Amino acid sequence: MRKINCCSAGSIRARQYLAILLLAALSAPALAQSAGEELSGFYARRGNDGSPAQTAGNNIYIKFFPDRWLGMLFVPYPYARSVDASTIEKVFVAARKRTDSAAYLRDSFGLLDQAATVQVERYGYYQERIAFECGALSACSIKLADGYLELIKPGVINEHIIRYDHVDVAAQ
């Protein structure tokens, strides 16, 4: 009868995979708490109202919702320059109420003078980042920092890192 060595290389590799999965599971609540702490407001792209907005044709905002949902709001430029933070917050809330699944919504939501697009997506966690579908070559990811986030969009040659600053509507 052949003996099986339970400490062989295969079982060590399995233990390494289990350790990695355990670390990922333990870091996810910390990321969720960080995202959850920012539910009171939204994030505004650096360059809104400037040349990036002129080039893209819109101002872009990101908001985290409970239960691992996020929204990206695209308000047409230059109209976006006249929209205040409380209206942006209300548009996010109105858009989220309209869907219970991932969706692209285009409307004025009864709050804007021009139609805007809201992308609602579910997010998850990957290597200490928040990951979600963003219409790019592959999933986008977000690194949270103190008072801002970095959206990392995959590109053909390299990643595009775009900074978004936190806007606390309650403080305004």
**Residue at 18 is within a domain:** no
**Identity of residue 64:** F
If we measure between CA atoms, which residue out of 149, 143, 146 comes closest to residue 131? 143
For residue 106, give the CATH number of its domain.
2.40.128
**What six digits make up the tokens of 129?**
């980042």
**Which stretches in the chain have pLDDT values below 50?**
6-9, 13-33, 36-38
**Identity of residue 163:** R
| pTM exceeds 0.85 | no
Find the domain containing 78 and state its range. Answer: 32-171
Measure the CA–CA gap between 73 and 144, rounded to whole angstroms. 19
Question: For residue 60, how many other CB atoms are within 10 A of its CB?
Answer: 22
Q: Are 118 and 71 in contact (CB under 8 A)?
A: yes
**Residue at 114 is within a domain:** yes
**Residue at 122 is within a domain:** yes
Domain count, the chain: 1
Q: What is the pLDDT of residues 58-89, one digit of tens each?
A: 999 999 999 999 999 999 999 999 999 999 99
**Residue at 38 is within a domain:** yes
**Residue at 155 is within a domain:** yes
**Residue at 94 is within a domain:** yes
**Residue at 26 is within a domain:** no
**What six digits make up the tokens of 135?**
């219409």
**Residue at 21 is within a domain:** no
CA angle 120, 70, 75 (to 5 degrees): 65
If we measure between CA atoms, which residue out of 88, 47, 50 comes closest to residue 71? 88
If we measure between CA atoms, which residue out of 68, 81, 116, 77 comes closest to residue 95? 116
